[in-house]
């Protein structure tokens, strides 16, 4: 026979499970928001670095500079895939030949697919 005590115990257990689940969900949301902030920072830094290279006129040179190679290495180290690096460089006026050279000559750090 089901008593009021057993029903209250079941309800108490369910409430505890819900509270624990709620806190786990809050922790995951916090982790995700921190990851999103870091990605936004990396992208803005990527854009800022690219702008400083353009300000020096390096996108008009025939050969990629050491600074451009270092820029590509830093972007790769942050996990930015080569396709995104290529797209950003070409959108900002870098010659395809320069982009090909720098992506081929920069250190071959592993990139995300």
How is the chain split into domains, by residue range? 4-105
Give per-residue pLDDT as tens, 44-58.
888 787 777 776 666
Q: What is the largest CA-CA distance in the chain?
A: 87
What are the angstrom distances between the C-alpha of 12 and each of 2, 3, 5, 21, 80?
Answer: 16, 14, 10, 14, 48
Per the model's pLDDT, the better-predicted residue between 11 and 75 turns out to be: 11
> What local confidence, expressed as pLDDT, does residue 113 receive?
45
Contact 53, 61 (CB under 8 A): no
Sign of CA dihedral 102, 108, 110, 113: positive
Residue 108 confidence (pLDDT) above 60? no
pLDDT average, residue stretch 48-76:
74
Write the DSSP symbol of residue 62.
S
| pLDDT(90) > 90 | no
pTM, to two decimals: 0.47
Segment 7-46, tens digit of pLDDT = 999 999 999 999 999 999 999 999 999 999 988 888 888 8
pLDDT at 59: 57
Gap between the Cα atoms of 77 and 58, Å rounded: 22
> Quick one: tokens of 39?
């990605």
């Amino acid at each position: 026979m089901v008593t009021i005590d057993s029903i209250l115990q079941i309800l108490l257990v369910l409430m505890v499970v819900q509270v624990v689940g709620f806190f786990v969900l809050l922790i995951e949301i916090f982790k995700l928001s921190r990851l999103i902030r870091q990605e936004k920072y990396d992208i803005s830094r990527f854009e800022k670095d690219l702008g400083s290279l353009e300000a020096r006129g390096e996108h008009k040179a025939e050969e990629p500079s050491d600074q451009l190679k270092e820029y590509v290495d830093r972007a790769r180290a942050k996990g930015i895939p080569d396709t995104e690096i290529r797209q950003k460089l070409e959108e900002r006026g870098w010659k395809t030949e320069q982009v090909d050279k720098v992506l081929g000559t920069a250190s071959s750090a592993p990139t995300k697919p």
